[in-house]
């Protein structure tokens, strides 16, 4: 290995140790700071960062710096638990960037999922969901028209499910379907993903405590930042067969 190669491997080892003891989102030394600390060229420092980028250990944001990448977040398949509550339980701070909000003409799947009558217009709420500043998912929620007053909420900061509960509608049951596909250019830009990247798309229909439909939602997760888990049990009839 060349002298320069040995140097960028040394820097990479140093950064791995820093990452191991840091929290996701922690800012790491910049290229210029690494050059000064190790007495190397910018090209060598950049090569070290590229190694860690390839390993998925860091996130680089133009004009902001280099940060510790988020650890994969576990999600229980089909859970009605809100993104805000799910992140809170993992010690992360949930936030949102509002992408779209308002009444829409429903798609056929929305009509079926929400049990809409002819002429009823549901409410669309699309948000970029972040955990401690790291973009995690794009959430496109189509809500039953009876939930129209959520548009009066601060949709960038409020928990949608908390808003529903204040209206007396408690998200209780969720049915979910998950598929994987290649991210498109908009998804890569919003989620700060490299090309190519994989999206896990979870479609959910959530009902309240009385079985009334609340939302038909597709959440597109950055696959590298999530793991999905499912709990499967045999029922009593299966055990008797």
> pLDDT tens string for the chain (241 positions)?
455 557 888 998 999 988 888 887 889 999 999 999 999 999 999 888 988 887 778 888 888 889 988 776 666 655 556 676 666 666 677 788 999 999 999 999 999 999 999 999 999 999 999 887 888 899 999 999 999 998 888 877 778 888 898 999 999 888 888 899 999 999 999 998 888 899 999 999 999 999 999 999 999 998 887 776 666 666 555 545 5
pTM (predicted TM-score)? 0.66
For the chain, the C-alpha Rg in angstroms (whole number) is 22
Structure token digits, residue 50: 């590229």
Closest CA to 30 of 5, 21, 18: 18
Domain boundary assignment for the chain: 3-68, 73-229
Rounded CA gap, 220 and 191, in Å? 10
- CA 2 from chain centre, in angstroms, equals 40
Q: Which residues pair with 227 in a beta bridge?
A: 74
The tokens 């936030």 sit on which residue?
95
Q: Which residues pair with 222 in a beta bridge?
A: 199
What dotted CATH number matches 73-229?
Answer: 3.40.1410.10
C-beta neighbour count of 97 within 10 angstroms? 14
Overall fold of domain 3-68: Arc Repressor Mutant, subunit A (1.10.10)
Do 73-229 and 3-68 fall under one CATH topology?
Answer: no
Rounded CA gap, 138 and 223, in Å? 12
């Amino acid at each position: 290995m060349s002298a320069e190669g040995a140097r960028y491997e040394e820097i990479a080892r140093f950064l791995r140790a820093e990452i191991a003891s840091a929290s996701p989102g922690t800012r790491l030394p910049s290229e210029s700071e690494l050059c000064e600390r190790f007495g190397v060229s910018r090209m060598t420092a950049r090569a070290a960062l590229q190694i860690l980028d390839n390993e998925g250990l860091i996130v680089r944001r133009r004009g902001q710096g280099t940060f510790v990448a988020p650890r994969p977040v576990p999600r229980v398949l089909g859970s009605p638990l809100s993104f805000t509550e799910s992140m809170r339980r993992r010690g992360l701070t949930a936030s949102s960037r509002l992408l779209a909000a308002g009444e829409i003409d429903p798609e056929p799947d929305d009509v079926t999922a929400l049990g809409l009558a002819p002429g009823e217009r549901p409410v669309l709420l699309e948000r970029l969901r972040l955990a401690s500043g790291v973009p995690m998912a794009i959430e496109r929620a189509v809500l039953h028209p009876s939930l129209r007053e959520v548009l009066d909420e601060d949709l960038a900061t409020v928990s949608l499910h908390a808003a529903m509960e204040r209206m007396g509608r408690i998200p209780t049951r969720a049915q979910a379907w998950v598929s994987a596909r290649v991210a498109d250019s908009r998804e890569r830009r919003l989620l700060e993903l490299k090309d190519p990247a994989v999206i896990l798309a979870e479609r959910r229909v959530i009902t309240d405590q009385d079985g009334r439909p609340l939302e038909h939602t597709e959440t597109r997760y950055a696959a590298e930042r999530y793991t999905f888990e499912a709990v499967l049990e045999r029922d009593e009839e299966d055990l008797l067969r």
